[in-house]
């Protein structure tokens, strides 16, 4: 068989399970997952290679109407995902309103790319409801493959892979076969810390935070990592640290444990908080944090 390779871009509304699906297709926890909207802020590639194929998945932020500059950058990642795809995985779930974001659906339809619709979270629904959604999406994307799945329970994931392989064009690999992602170690450390912040802080706090690894020094038996948590305002600094430093300690402990599992090495993690005033609205800060690379 000739070698096949291509880009499979995962798009959809916030919180429908895009990142859970990518991790499950790649078999590694590359993307962070939480119950909160806008967990994913970047485009993150996950690469799966075999002897005669290479699939380059991209996880993307959920689609939204931008209300500040950070979100504008996030939506640029989503838009470019429609340009360079060989296959689009359009993710929806059994909970979201089907007519949310009609403009984006129109863009996907007009892209003329092969679309696979994934109706996720069927573990929360019943057969009748799922069949209704199946009909609905069949009308929206005529000719598209539609798979009801549960990414959480890893139900019906295998057939997606088989179908992608059929749709991929013939061609050589884009990345070395042993490469798993386009992101570096610092990025994953930042994301691990950000996941803990999304989990433990409420309201606007997780959205006002950016995490930056200042130093990542790998030694034989340990990795020393210094990480800054940037907040938008002075008042948020105290909230992140918490009474007697309890909150930030918890973030640090949990992030360190996850990182030790991810990097398979002992970690010394140092966290501190800095104010980067209104960084979500500033081009310079957004560039510093990597939101200018599409």
Q: Site residues (CB under 5 A) for Mg ion?
A: 18-19, 39-40
Question: In the set 4, 7, 17, 271, which binds ligand GTP (CB under 6 A)?
Answer: 17
206 has binding-site annotation: no
Question: Could you tell which of Mg ion, ligand GTP, none binds residue 16, using a CB distance below 5 to 8 A set by kind?
Answer: ligand GTP
120 has binding-site annotation: yes
Residues facing 4 on adjacent strands: 53, 170
Nearest to 230 by CA among 269, 285, 156, 270: 285
Binding of ligand GTP at residue 280 (CB under 6 A)?
A: no
Contact 92, 117 (CB under 8 A): yes
By beta-carbon proximity to ligand GTP, the closer residue of 31 and 236 is 31
Which region, judged by CB under 6 A, interacts with ligand GTP, from 14-22, 101-109, 156-164, 247-255?
14-22
Q: How far apart are CA 163 and CA 144, in angstroms?
A: 11
Question: In the set 4, 29, 43, 121, which binds ligand GTP (CB under 6 A)?
Answer: 121
4 has binding-site annotation: no
Binding of ligand GTP at residue 120 (CB under 6 A)?
A: yes
Nearest to 275 by CA among 240, 242, 238, 232: 232
Binding of ligand GTP at residue 92 (CB under 6 A)?
A: no
293 CB-near residues (< 8 Å, 6+ apart): none
By beta-carbon proximity to Mg ion, the closer residue of 16 and 223 is 16
Question: Could you tell which of ligand GTP, Mg ion, none binds residue 131, using a CB distance below 5 to 8 A set by kind?
Answer: none
93 has binding-site annotation: no
Question: In the set 47, 70, 75, 151, which binds ligand GTP (CB under 6 A)?
Answer: 151
Binding of ligand GTP at residue 30 (CB under 6 A)?
A: no
122 has binding-site annotation: yes
Q: Helices 234-241 & 246-263, crossing angle to 10 degrees?
A: 70
107 has binding-site annotation: no
Q: How far apart are CA 222 and CA 217, in angstroms?
A: 8
121 has binding-site annotation: yes
Which region, judged by CB under 6 A, interacts with ligand GTP, from 30-38, 75-83, 157-165, 273-281?
30-38
Q: How far apart are CA 285 and CA 292, in angstroms?
A: 10
Binding positions are 12-19, 59-63, 120-123
Q: Which residues bind ligand GTP (CB under 6 A)?
A: 14-20, 33-35, 37-40, 61-62, 120-121, 123-124, 150-152
């Amino acid at each position: 068989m000739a070698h096949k390779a291509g880009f499979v871009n995962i798009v959809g509304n916030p919180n429908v399970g895009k990142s859970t699906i990518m991790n499950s297709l790649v078999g590694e926890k590359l993307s962070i997952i939480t119950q909160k909207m806008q967990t994913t802020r970047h485009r993150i590639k996950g690469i799966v290679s075999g002897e005669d194929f290479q699939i380059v998945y991209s996880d993307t932020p959920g689609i939204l109407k931008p209300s500040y500059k950070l979100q504008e950058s996030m939506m640029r990642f989503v838009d470019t995902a429609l340009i360079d795809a060989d296959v689009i995985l359009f993710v929806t779930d059994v909970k979201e309103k089907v007519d949310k974001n009609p403009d984006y659906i129109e863009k996907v339809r007009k892209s003329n790319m092969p679309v696979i619709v994934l109706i996720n979270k069927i573990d929360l629904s019943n057969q009748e409801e799922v069949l209704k959604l199946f009909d609905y999406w069949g009308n929206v994307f005529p000719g598209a493959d539609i798979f009801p799945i549960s990414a959480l329970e890893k139900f019906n994931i295998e057939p997606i892979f088989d179908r992608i392989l059929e749709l991929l064009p013939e061609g050589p690999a884009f990345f070395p076969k042993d490469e798993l992602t386009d992101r570096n170690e610092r990025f994953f450390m930042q994301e691990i810390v950000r996941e803990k912040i999304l989990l433990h802080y409420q309201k606007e706090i997780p959205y006002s935070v950016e995490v930056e690894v200042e130093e990542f020094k790998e030694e034989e038996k340990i990795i020393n990592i210094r990480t800054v948590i940037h907040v938008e305002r002075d008042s948020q600094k105290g909230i992140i640290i918490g009474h007697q430093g309890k909150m930030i300690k918890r973030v640090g402990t949990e992030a360190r444990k996850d990182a030790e599992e991810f990097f398979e090495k002992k970690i010394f993690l140092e966290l501190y908080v800095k104010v980067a005033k209104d960084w979500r609205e500033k081009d310079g800060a957004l560039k510093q944090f990597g939101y200018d690379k599409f």
